[in-house]
Amino acid sequence: MHKEKQIPIALACDSNYFIPMITTITSLLLNADKETYYHIFILKDSFTDNELKQLNYFEEHYFCKIECRVVDDTTFDFVKKDARLTNPNFFRFSMIDMISEYDKIIWCDTDIIIQEDLTEYFNTPIGDNYLVVSDTLFDVIPKSVEIYKKRREIRNIKGKLFNAGFMTMNLKKMRDDNFKEKLIEWYKTYQLNTTEQVLWNVCDGKVVYIDMKYNLMIMYFHIHFYEEVYLGLRDDVDSVYKNKIKEMLENPVVVHYTHTKPWDVIHSNGRTVSSFTDIWWAYYKKTHIYDPKYYIEYQYRYSTELCNVLKNVNSFWFRFGQKNTRGKITLVLKTALKKTRTKIKNIYHKITS
């Protein structure tokens, strides 16, 4: 095996994200070139026998190595956690010292689908920089610019903003520069429960930015920004970014389910959100842990929430004109959804009985 075809990649999760992580790894390996050998590090505070069995499956059926490492690093325990920011979020910093056999590595969140081989991405020259990240629209969308303007001034953030969910990390430089110690100092100074803002500051602009197709973030579809640009409805966006967005939407390498997760409900935020949700479920169905009950249960919850949404007639169907018209349309949709929900419920009970 040629060394240049060996790609190290690290993921971390707790028990709540084990199924999404399996789905992410499945998408990675299904889209790998025949010559690409992924050395996959799984970082977790503990592993059950069943989890180890499910992870070992990949080594038996794909051209890869799975290495499970228990993280008992308490360095960042002082940082306030919440439902969004859990301990596994900080394992990307723990691995700076833990994974000493590599000079650089890909970090991948577990709410991601990878649709192409990552050799080209991994071979992006990192030079004397800390990270290789995807370009974003944080500095383009007026609302985001406004939100982060004050934060930039207060914390003296240099360079463009980025998302830290999918990136290449220069482990050697981080070790040489005592990067982890700088992170700790910053956290203690500002007392923030975030990862991106810390990296924006500590990296001090030493970041390589590449195409947005390597981190298509679903969060922006909730304000329909990507869709509007793609459909030509926005004239306040630079033509260069318009072209980048169109290319990304047509050929995303990494789909990142920021904000709304595809296994949650509800996804009533545009056609594009729904289409990318379908991508995640398609890959989940290809995993060796696919369980029809899990999928049917989601569909039942989804249809139930849609029925609940339709109870608010005036706010959702004002565009259809008169009140009577809105009521008739809503009644038809509610009736159809209830029938669908009943069918799904019957299938679910049949499977679980």
More confident residue, 152 or 137: 137
Other residues' Cβ atoms within 10 Å of the Cβ of residue 83 = 6
Of 24-28, 142-146, 185-189, 340-344, the least confident: 340-344
The DSSP symbol for 249 reads H
| 333 contacts: CB under 8 Å, gap ≥ 6 | 310
Q: What six digits make up the tokens of 312?
A: 């608010």
For residue 122, pLDDT beyond 70:
yes
More confident residue, 222 or 26: 26
pLDDT at 305: 63
For residue 337, pLDDT beyond 60:
no
**pTM of this prediction?**
0.84
**CA 104/CA 106 separation, integer angstroms:** 7
For residue 179, pLDDT beyond 60:
yes
HSE value, Cβ hemisphere, 13 Å, CA-based, for 158: 6
| 189 contacts: CB under 8 Å, gap ≥ 6 | none
Across residues 58-75, what is the average pLDDT?
A: 92
For residue 233, pLDDT beyond 50:
yes
Fold that domain 3-284 belongs to in CATH: Spore Coat Polysaccharide Biosynthesis Protein SpsA; Chain A (3.90.550)
Across residues 272-294, what is the average pLDDT?
A: 86
More confident residue, 276 or 197: 276
Torsions phi, psi for 2 (to 5 deg): -75, 135
pLDDT band at 345 (very low <50, low <70, confident <90, very high): low
Q: What six digits make up the tokens of 268?
A: 């009533």
Question: pLDDT averaged over the chain?
Answer: 80
pLDDT band at 322 (very low <50, low <70, confident <90, very high): very low
- The DSSP bridge partners found for residue 9 are 40, 106
Q: What is the pLDDT of residues 324-334, one digit of tens each?
A: 544 554 555 55
pLDDT band at 317 (very low <50, low <70, confident <90, very high): very low
More confident residue, 189 or 55: 55
- Give which of 283, 279, 228 is closest to 252, Cα–Cα: 279
For residue 58, pLDDT beyond 80:
yes
**CA 233/CA 42 separation, integer angstroms:** 43
Across residues 81-90, what is the average pLDDT?
A: 71
SS (H, E, C) 176-187: HCCHHHHHHHHH
Q: What is the pLDDT of residues 203-214, one digit of tens each?
A: 888 999 999 999
pLDDT at 175: 97
- CA dihedral 51→56→61→67, nearest 10 degrees, is 120
**What share of residues in the chain are helix, strand, coil (percent, to 5)?**
50, 15, 35
What are the boundaries of each domain within the chain?
3-284, 292-352
pLDDT at 316: 45
Q: What is the pLDDT of residues 99-113, one digit of tens each?
A: 999 999 999 999 999
Contact indicator for 249, 215 with CB cutoff of 8 Å:
no
For residue 38, pLDDT beyond 60:
yes
Q: Which residue has the tokens 């969004």?
A: 84
**CA 86/CA 80 separation, integer angstroms:** 9
pLDDT band at 235 (very low <50, low <70, confident <90, very high): confident
More confident residue, 314 or 3: 3
**CA 100/CA 82 separation, integer angstroms:** 30
The DSSP symbol for 128 reads T
